[in-house]
Structure 1
Amino acid sequence: MFVNEEAKIVSSKPSISWVSTDLLEDRIDSFTFKDYIIENDKLFSSMNNVVELKDLLVKNHRGKGLTSNPNGKIPNLKVRNITNNGINLEDVDLIDENEFEKNKTAHVKKGDVLLAVTGVGSLGKVDLYWSEKKATVDGHVNILRTNEKCDSGYLRSFLHSKYGQIFIQKYTIGSTGQTELYSSDIAKFKIYLPNMNIQQYIGNKVRKAEELREEAKQLMSQVYELINIHFSLDSFENEIKDNYKYDFVSSNYLEDRLDAEYYDPNLIKLFTHLSKMGFKFVNLGNVSRMVFTGENVESTWIAPDKKVPLIYIGNLEGYFVIPSDSEFIDENNVRNWEKSFAEFGDILFASRGSLDCLINRISVYFDEDKKGVITSNIIAVRLDQNLIRTGYVISVLKSIIGTYQIIKHSWGVAQKGLTANDVSKIVIPLLQINEQLEIEEKLIQSFKKLQEAKKLINEAKQDVEDLIEGKFDESKISEGV
């Protein structure tokens, strides 16, 4: 039992507390006074150098819902773009210059801390905007702009820490249907504020992580450019800009399926274009050691103290698989070892979802240190690296060559699907092995930079927790980041 002058924790399970009326604010609910929230409040009340967040901010409000324009150039960041590991610009809505100028309160600038404030599973995610480029945020993202007393990278790390997350949980309202965190409540957060040298040391880790992410992005741009150059895809896309809706199909192309998507005129024109360039082709099934579907994971297998991460469709982010940081299983529960674990070089496909999901959720597993268990809505392709390189194949799949074929082989109406057999039929044009290796090396270097960035983000978070717990080693500051 924990007791102080204002609160008494009677029981943790179930959570029962007695609280003084002095602690009651403008809301009364059981969640606000859970045992760990009361203990967190007590901790911050007992510490020196604790201030309210409102005293560290010059800007604290949400963005706005803006009108998207597919021809726009300016990102409008949403909750899905806030990841805790850097802002994701792979799937971003765009607005035009006119919409940007009309909505100045939604503008973000370099150094702003962006906090997701709506939605179960997303609320509480936080990132640092570290770019000179124009951008806005929508009404489900809160902009936090610090004054000279607080390093913005430090604030981002504090909010990411377990202590910052407890304040976020304390002030979140709503049920599982819709949760919200308001700017007026964010202002009440208690922040431990060390001297500026320590703040900057921690903040520099976040900024270095953002620089590494930008370097990784540049490498990915080079990969994209190499694929376009090798296959003259830009010139081909100009040829088909009229977007043909129908065409005559030679009997040579007919297979055991008859529908419009399967014989998309643009796909046929694409492979005619590649054939005229002299490329040879292989089916994925013919250059793979295995093509298999993942494990039907049972909820009872999941435990936070286990070591094998789960890989869901949502973990297929961009080019690279990002395994779950929170859901792990006991490997002894896995029924089929050979067809459950993703290993270095495996390409993973979403097998259920919208068409956009099937097109965008194709990623490569580049983690050499550990394996992850793939779930049943994922198809894995394990290539024979002596025949074709993984980094090259994923780059082709991410181009229009892969996109058109996913459209071709998917089936269903609102909910689309792919089978292992469908994936095996996907065709890859062949480059020389040295050209494949050049592309793959850029991908691997990009992945390593992203991993180093993630490591720095986690170190910064841990530094904040060590500070609050009295375990931070100040001698590290002289070493720099």
Structure 2
Amino acid sequence: MSELIELANYISRGITPKYTESADGFGVINQRCIRNGVIDFSLVRNTDLTKKKVSEDKMLKKFDILINSTGDGTLGRVSQYFGEDNKYTVDSHVTIVRPNSSLINPVFLGFNLFSKQRFIEKLAEGSTGQLELPRISVGNIEVNDVDKELQDLSAILLFNIQNKITLLRQQNQDLEELAQTLFRRWFVEFEFPCLPSDYRPHGR
């Protein structure tokens, strides 16, 4: 077992953004974006770089692990960033954990922390509504850093499973949106589909 601080190059909260509606801003991932182990980029907001600079170390790198670090009901959620370097940052309610890939497989570490979400939630300090996850508590999380070969194999298998889950979840969402659209068009707007003149219901 090793403590997370020994396996990470960087552990820190994100920025306090100056939000803008401009598409030219820099993307900021917030707590709402992190759910079910994935990042919902549709909820990302932009910060104005002319008012608030983003330091290099707070720009996300591929395989960075993100942990929600404030709030009752959101604290403890974990996801991992698999995008390009320096395209996004996170706000001050999210902790960035940057794995040291020379010491541990980054994907293995991401799933390891994801499996500890309930435990991480219990590390919170403060009162209801003002819960905080201290940086030192994140660094003290113990990780079972098994044999490197087993880490690599586990990472591949778990990553493939996660991709399939994400795909199925997206398909379910698409079907739900289609059902809602059809219901609205048929029973609210009364736009029934045109049927052939010789159409007869089955059995008639």
TM-score range, shorter chain: 0.7 to 0.9
User: In structure 2, the residue corresponding to 1:320 is in which secondary structure?
Assistant: helix
* Contact 1:100/1:136, CA 8 A, preserved across alignment: no
2:198 corresponds to: none
Shift of 1:119: 0.9
2:112 corresponds to: 158
Q: Distance in 2 between matches of 1:212 and 1:100?
A: 38
* 1:393 alignment partner, one of 178, 182, 196: 182
1:320 corresponds to: 173
CA distance change for structure 1 residues 71 and 430 in 2, over 3 Å: closer, same or farther? Answer: farther
* 2:14 alignment partner, one of 51, 63, 68: 63
1:52 and 2:3 equivalent? yes
1:180 corresponds to: 132
* Contact 2:37/2:80, CA 8 A, preserved across alignment: no
* 1:425 alignment partner, one of 178, 188, 199: 188
Taking structure 2 as the reference length, the TM-score comes to 0.76
Q: Deviations over 1:71-115 (max 9, x none)?
A: 235421011111133101122212355467544343111110001
User: In structure 2, the residue corresponding to 1:155 is in which secondary structure?
Assistant: helix
Q: Deviations over 1:212-254 (max 9, x none)?
A: 588789x99xxxxxxxxxxxxxxxxxxxxxxxxxxxxxxxxxx
Taking structure 1 as the reference length, the TM-score comes to 0.35
1:135 and 2:91 equivalent? no
* 2:97 alignment partner, one of 141, 144, 159: 144
Shift of 1:160: 2.1
Q: Distance in 2 between matches of 1:178 and 1:80?
A: 17
Q: Distance in 2 between matches of 1:99 and 1:105?
A: 18
User: In structure 2, the residue corresponding to 1:186 is in which secondary structure?
Assistant: helix
Q: Which runs of 5+ in 1 are unaligned?
A: 1-49, 221-318, 322-344, 346-363, 366-388, 403-422, 433-481
* Contact 2:29/2:45, CA 8 A, preserved across alignment: yes
Q: Which amino acid aligns with 2:3?
A: E
CA distance change for structure 1 residues 70 and 51 in 2, over 3 Å: closer, same or farther? Answer: same
2:56 corresponds to: 104
CA distance change for structure 1 residues 216 and 431 in 2, over 3 Å: closer, same or farther? Answer: farther
Q: Deviations over 1:111-162 (max 9, x none)?
A: 100011111111111011011160110001000011111122222222222x
User: In structure 1, the residue corresponding to 2:15 is in which secondary structure?
Assistant: coil
* Contact 1:87/1:129, CA 8 A, preserved across alignment: yes
* Contact 2:15/2:54, CA 8 A, preserved across alignment: no
What is the RMSD computed on CA atoms of the aligned residues?
A: 3.5
Equivalent residue pairs, number:
192
1:84 corresponds to: 36
* Contact 1:72/1:96, CA 8 A, preserved across alignment: no
Q: Distance in 2 between matches of 1:179 and 1:51?
A: 26
* 1:204 alignment partner, one of 156, 174, 190: 156
Q: Distance in 2 between matches of 1:79 and 1:428?
A: 40
* Contact 1:72/1:97, CA 8 A, preserved across alignment: no
2:70 corresponds to: 118
1:171 and 2:123 equivalent? yes
Larger radius of gyration: 1
User: In structure 2, the residue corresponding to 1:174 is in which secondary structure?
Assistant: coil
User: In structure 1, the residue corresponding to 2:109 is in which secondary structure?
Assistant: helix
* Contact 2:17/2:48, CA 8 A, preserved across alignment: no
The structure carrying a bigger helix percent of its residues is 1
Q: Distance in 2 between matches of 1:87 and 1:204?
A: 19
1:193 and 2:145 equivalent? yes
Q: Which amino acid aligns with 1:64?
A: I
